[in-house]
Structure 1
Amino acid sequence: MSNKENQLDGDSPLDWERMWVRSTPDLAVFLLMPHGHVSTWNPGGTVIYGFTEDEVIGRHYSVFFPEEARESGVFERELQEAAERGSIQTEGWRQRKDGSVFWASVVTTALVGSYGEILGFAKVVRDETEKRRAHDAVIESERRFRMLVEGVTDYSIFMLSPEGIVTNWNSGARRIKGYTAEEIVGCHFSRFYTPEDAATRAPQRALDTAAREGRFEAEGWRVRRDGTRFWAHVIVDAIRDESGKLVGFAKITRDVTEKREADQLLEQTQAALFQSQKMEAIGRLTGGVAHDFNNVLQVLRGNLELLQIRCARDDWTLGRLSNAISAVERGAKLASQLLAFGRRQALRPASVNLAAMVRSMDELLRRALGETIEVETSVAVDLWNAFVDSHQLENVVLNLAINARDAMPDGGRLTLELANSTLDERYVRSLPDVQAGQYVVLSVTDTGAGMPPDVLEHAFDPFFTTKSEGEGTGLGLSMAYGFVKQSGGHIRIYSEVGHGTTVRVYLPRSSAEAFTPAARTNAPMLGGSETVLVVEDDLKVQETVVEMLIELGYNVLKADDSEQALVILDNGTHIDLLFTDVVMPGPLKSPEMVRRAVLRQPHLRVLYTSGYTRNAIVHGGRLDAGVELLSKPYSREDLAVKIRQLLDTRGAANAESSRPSAEPTPTTSARRVLVVEDDKSSRDAVLELLCMLDYHPTGVENASDAIETMNAAAFDVLLTDVRLPDMSGVNLARIAVARHPAIRVLFASGEIPFAEDATDFQWKALRKPYSLLELEGALREAARAQ
């Protein structure tokens, strides 16, 4: 055994203790005298406090405390408590030699003598600064987290026990769900679910999913404390400890009701935009098709009706012609429905009492529906007037009634209800093409088979039908939809399979007095003898309508476009009625041509015709004020009635003064007239008028041609303009009279020569514009003068 081992074996326990104290650098171990002065010091004290043994022995241990602790007497209480209790353990801030502080864990033990006296104190100090900082960081993190959770008001954040019991509650949960923490902590979270969801164990399924997969996320209806519901986005996260044991759930709930409504509104708006774009595209297509299609139908119908006149005694032919005309009418109805769907109709809305309109349709509906269907009408008290085209609305009601009839093959009941309604901003928020305001509602309800959701979704689509091929076009409801939208209204369908269908038509309220339409009469079809100028670019349509008008007794002039029409009006020809297509080729559009025409001849009446107006005379879905329109294809009767309505409104006296005789004839059997006019259209129009009066006209465009023509043939009358391209009309007349003394001169011009300009021959003047009657009178005077 070595000497060192012998030395250790001989050391006392006290020696061992001293060796431990001096070999422990992580602990400051030192003794204090009874009044707190340092009596021993170990290397650990130097490491922790920074004082060497020489610097600290004999000093009061208060030097180890920060100034504020020394001022508060903390160190005195520490020794006093250790003396009373024998030993205490404390933590606190201590100060090093360099003035820096550290967090210390201190054990102070009183050293008691054999008689109970305090001999001093033993202190063991450990630097726990890092541990303290970690602890403080955790505390701060928890504090910040609590502040964050408590400060969040848009989210409901709370914890659940593994069984689903609420264990804590934030301010967002209080705001969203309405419960205070005192009211809800300790309760099961299923009370936030609707009764329907709770009955299907939806809350437990949410916890089971979160426990199994770590997270559950869903949206659905939740219930607040006051019983109101909100649409919630919910996340449930499973919380597990270090061993993986489930200790509870974190639940986050957000009220997304407004977002859901906004998303729904966006979807509805996008759908409405798509529908609007689809409607616009189909509208453009149907408009163009309808224009050309109606022109074709007009040619067919006009010629078929002319054939009916010629074949009045051939029953077989009349029957075939009648069938053909019926087919044209079906085609016209199809084109009309396309225009209605595309919102391209020319509407003439007025203030209408819908109750009176519906009652007037009672007999028509009963005939259309048959005896197996009962018709009921209900009208609200103090019903408002509606602003609508009543004629087109009658077509809508009839179409809806026929649809209802087809849904009730075994009979049933059709109910027409009229009531007042106000659509508020909330209702129309998702309907961009519907204005908030007051409406009159027409509800058409049947007790038929009803429509399933997939059929209901496409009910307004054009050509969509559930009927067998050949039994329907699929345009009835789409036509109603287009008409109502064009009228500024709203239409909805409510249907349930096996319980029937209700179509509600909302029409804008009118505060004006109801308009009373003129009673329909079966007056005989009348013609007349006035002069009609037909302006039509489709030559086949033009030829047909001219022939129809001639058959009705009218004097007819024609023009292929607006420029030709104005030339005819400028040459002095009196026109009673301008019958023009709305859509004309060339730079000069029909409305502008009509405006100029009326300035030239203020007495002129104007009747438009078209298969499609293209917004020329229709704005906002309505015919412009004062505009008269005869839509193509029209019948001979439609044409006759409309023209007589317009011409007869001028007053009988004015009408009689402007009409030539029904069968104008010259005073002699044949009159040869030389017409000198440099404008071809005007010249052709005058030649046609003269032919109508049974004269034999010849036309030339200048004075040179006129002289050459007179040298080749004899003429009774020279009808010449004053202004000609190569010579004045006065000089031409002078030459003509010198060479042909029997010829009579008739100046037709807007510029009549002065008397002193032509004193060497006789002449008469006809100022442009002139009527057919005035032309006939001037020619009669020329004949008498001869």
Structure 2
Amino acid sequence: MAHHERVGEAQAEEKRYRLLVEAVTDYAIYMVDRDGYVSSWNSGAARIKGYAPGEILGKHFSLFYTDEDRQAGGPERALEMAAREGRFEAEGWRVRKDGGRFWAHVVIDPVRDEAGELIGFAKITRDLSERLQAAAVLERSEEQFRLLVQSVTDYAIYMLDAEGRIASWNAGAQRIKGYRPDEIIGQHFSRFYTEEDAAAGEPARGLGIAAREGRFEKEGWRVRKDGTRFWANIVIDAIRDDAGKLIGFAKVTRDITERREAQRELEKVREAFFQAQKMEAIGQLTGGVAHDFNNLLMVIIGSLEMLRKHVPSDPRASRLIENALQGARRGASLTQRMLAFARRQELTLTAVDVPELVRSMMDLLMRSLGPTVTLETRFPGALDAVQADANQLELTLLNLVVNARDAMPDGGAIVIEAQPVEIADAPDGLKPGRYVRLAVSDTGVGMDEATVARAVEPFFTTKGVGKGTGLGLSMVHGTMEQLGGRMTLRSRPGEGTTVELWMPVSETPALAGAYAARRDAAHSSDDLHRFVALAVDDDPLVLVNTTAMLEDLGFTVFPAASGDEALATLRREPTIDFVITDHAMPQMTGVELARAIRVERPDLPIILTSGYAELSENLDISLPKLAKPFAQGEIVQVIAAAMSNRTPAAHPDHNLDTDRP
């Protein structure tokens, strides 16, 4: 190739490089001589640093440095290092023509001739202000996030490495788990698990699921530094780098012990509410059945008693009638227990001295136990009387003692004890006030939780077919509820059973010796004049039966099937001496009829009968009451009591001595 051709090609190549450099606008590319004076200037340099070529060519490149860097010899050191080491590279602040600063990435390369002699430097500068700003924003964001995580105290937020060792620790972790950062960082997170969970491999399982699925969440017991346990919600998230490699875990733990306890309390309250609803529904059903059944038993018992009087003295017939009466009375006892459970029995509340009542029953209780069971009583020297029905309390105690005996087939011990209790708040529905807690404990086989939960349900029994009605504890429960108290049951298999009766203290003291001297009052129809009676009942079978019983006693009886009919009869028959009326009647109840009668005949004795405790409502009149089913002997007693205050002067036109058919 000719010389002039090579020269021309070299000039063309140089021109192409010059055009290439000139076209670059994102980089300042320029030359400085050996002393640092600018000898070339591209469009990128003009854009980034703000100088036109005519303004900067021949000027020293230190013009782009900050005052601090110039005073520290930065420009000279950069050229010296580039010349000595063949390259200088750094980042730092640089200054534009307008005085504004920008963050620059700077590269300085020495330029040498063919002989290797230094003839200048090539300098490339890039404006990294935006990247620096982004990095600063990222740093601020990371710092804010760090401060945010560190300031959270309700959550333990910390990092684990890939093996489960703790790499960071926030204030919430220190508060919840009790460790300072210097005590725990570098330790394995399994120390927070209970011994049983750690032995079962729970820590490794949690990390394994998080690594495999990206997330693990669970609730369970965890252990603080002081050894105490707390119920925790745990979340473990896997952390991976840009290549997807697992580098650790983020762990968030929250102490939810209080929330768990609140939830458990709510569930207990809800369960108690559902149980109360269930028992109330069963009680309403049971009470209704017992009420109707009592009406039927009323007819059966009354008819059998009268039939026994008039049937010829045939031993076989008498035995069958007596057997039928025994069965009907057993049915009456069963309905009485049903009514007790349903809280619809008629109670006669008086002040009851519990120790005296128990002592008066000791002979009866001991006869019920047999030789293999011992009975012990424990009472304090002084104990307030309770507001209760003495008869029902006796029946309740007998029931509990017999249950305790049956729970000890191989013998054992029964303890009856009482203690005064003062209640300030209102647990389980009890009103604040003074109570007596009467407990019957045995050393028998006991019951499991499932049996205890069902023990007061009606007809539930563990005694086997034909050995119990399942109404004993139901009756006790209902009676205590009706008294304004409660029954509690504690039992564990093999450890016996304790039944506690909580009864409110009476405002008045009990009469001394009331139970030792108590006896059944017997009255005979011979004590009564042959009065005229008005019998009222909407059930025709019961009405016929009541009428027949009264007529059999020698009374003259006017029957009435409703309140309106009864009032009409009273107005038509002024010789009527007393009224015996059912309470639960449609249109006009027995109480409403009594109020109407009081307006016209205020002195007329009125006896209310009922199959359950509708009679316990607040009445504005005082009336003697008779619970169905009743026998002739019971009706004689009530009539005698009702008529004891009646004087012949009440009806001057009525001769009480006149015999009536």
Q: How would you bin the TM-score normalised by the shorter chain?
A: 0.7 to 0.9
Residue type of the alignment partner of 1:520: R
TM-score normalised according to structure 2 size: 0.83
Change in 2 beyond 3 A, CA 1:282/1:99: farther
- 5 Å matches for 1:319-468? 319-380=319-380, 382-421=382-421, 428=427, 431=428, 433-435=429-431, 438-468=434-464
Q: Who is 1:82 aligned against? A: 77
TM-score normalised according to structure 1 size: 0.71
Q: Deviations over 1:457-489 (max 9, x none)?
A: 322222222333222222222232333333333
Q: Deviations over 1:86-107 (max 9, x none)?
A: 4776544556568876532235
C-alpha distance in 2, partners of 1:381/1:242?
A: 83
Q: Who is 2:309 aligned against? A: 309
Aligned length: 642
The more displaced of 589-598 and 498-507 is 498-507
Change in 2 beyond 3 A, CA 1:44/1:392: same
Q: Who is 1:501 aligned against? A: 497
The more displaced of 379-388 and 461-470 is 379-388
Alignment pair present for 1:469 and 2:465: yes
Q: CA RMSD in A?
A: 4.0
C-alpha distance in 2, partners of 1:525/1:301?
A: 19
Change in 2 beyond 3 A, CA 1:381/1:128: farther
Deviation of the 1:531 alpha carbon? 4.0
Among 635, 639, 647, the alignment partner of 2:635 is 639
Residue type of the alignment partner of 2:502: Y
Q: Deviations over 1:211-253 (max 9, x none)?
A: 4554432222233345543322222233344555543332221
Any conservation in 1 of the 2:279–2:457 contact (CA below 8 Å)?
no
C-alpha distance in 2, partners of 1:281/1:556?
A: 39
Q: Deviations over 1:287-309 (max 9, x none)?
A: 33222211110011111111233
- 5 Å matches for 1:12-23? none
Q: Who is 1:595 aligned against? A: 595
- 5 Å matches for 1:565-644? 565-571=566-572, 573=574, 575-586=576-587, 588-613=588-613, 615=614, 617-619=615-617, 626-644=622-640
The DSSP-based 3-state class of the residue aligned with 1:465 is: coil
The DSSP-based 3-state class of the residue aligned with 2:489 is: strand
Any conservation in 1 of the 2:62–2:75 contact (CA below 8 Å)?
no
Any conservation in 2 of the 1:534–1:558 contact (CA below 8 Å)?
yes
Alignment pair present for 1:136 and 2:136: yes
Alignment pair present for 1:265 and 2:265: yes
- 5 Å matches for 1:174-189? 174-189=174-189
Alignment pair present for 1:479 and 2:480: no
Deviation of the 1:123 alpha carbon? 5.0
Q: Who is 1:234 aligned against? A: 234
Among 506, 523, 526, the alignment partner of 1:525 is 523
The DSSP-based 3-state class of the residue aligned with 2:474 is: helix
Residue type of the alignment partner of 1:548: M
Residue type of the alignment partner of 2:467: E
C-alpha distance in 1, partners of 2:417/2:567?
A: 52
Deviation of the 1:266 alpha carbon? 3.2
- 5 Å matches for 1:83-98? 86=81, 90-92=90-92, 94=94
Change in 2 beyond 3 A, CA 1:126/1:585: same
Which segments of 5 or more consecutive residues in structure 1 lack a partner in the other structure?
113-117, 666-691, 695-786
Any conservation in 2 of the 1:160–1:251 contact (CA below 8 Å)?
yes
Change in 2 beyond 3 A, CA 1:636/1:356: same
Alignment pair present for 1:492 and 2:476: no
Alignment pair present for 1:561 and 2:562: yes
Deviation of the 1:80 alpha carbon? 6.6
Q: Who is 1:701 aligned against? A: none
Change in 2 beyond 3 A, CA 1:623/1:239: farther
Q: Who is 2:115 aligned against? A: none
C-alpha distance in 2, partners of 1:627/1:187?
A: 82
The DSSP-based 3-state class of the residue aligned with 1:216 is: strand
Any conservation in 2 of the 1:79–1:108 contact (CA below 8 Å)?
no
Change in 2 beyond 3 A, CA 1:188/1:365: farther
Change in 2 beyond 3 A, CA 1:64/1:372: same
C-alpha distance in 2, partners of 1:215/1:589?
A: 70
- 5 Å matches for 1:735-774? none
Any conservation in 2 of the 1:377–1:417 contact (CA below 8 Å)?
yes
The DSSP-based 3-state class of the residue aligned with 1:260 is: helix
Residue type of the alignment partner of 1:413: A
C-alpha distance in 2, partners of 1:328/1:362?
A: 29
C-alpha distance in 2, partners of 1:424/1:85?
A: 92
C-alpha distance in 2, partners of 1:57/1:101?
A: 21
Deviation of the 1:562 alpha carbon? 1.4
C-alpha distance in 1, partners of 2:421/2:404?
A: 24
Deviation of the 1:131 alpha carbon? 3.4
Any conservation in 2 of the 1:618–1:624 contact (CA below 8 Å)?
no
Residue type of the alignment partner of 1:573: P
Q: Who is 1:664 aligned against? A: 658
Greater RCO between the two (CA within 8 Å, min separation 6)? 2
Deviation of the 1:203 alpha carbon? 3.8
C-alpha distance in 2, partners of 1:357/1:593?
A: 38
Which segments of 5 or more consecutive residues in structure 2 lack a partner in the other structure?
83-87, 113-117
The more displaced of 654-663 and 373-382 is 654-663
Q: Who is 2:547 aligned against? A: 546
Alignment pair present for 1:296 and 2:290: no
Q: Who is 1:673 aligned against? A: none
Q: Who is 1:286 aligned against? A: 286
Deviation of the 1:324 alpha carbon? 1.1
Deviation of the 1:448 alpha carbon? 1.9
Residue type of the alignment partner of 2:485: G
C-alpha distance in 2, partners of 1:511/1:93?
A: 95
C-alpha distance in 1, partners of 2:308/2:414?
A: 41
Any conservation in 2 of the 1:448–1:501 contact (CA below 8 Å)?
yes
Any conservation in 2 of the 1:216–1:237 contact (CA below 8 Å)?
yes
C-alpha distance in 1, partners of 2:391/2:76?
A: 107
C-alpha distance in 2, partners of 1:597/1:2?
A: 151
Residue type of the alignment partner of 1:82: R
The DSSP-based 3-state class of the residue aligned with 1:602 is: coil
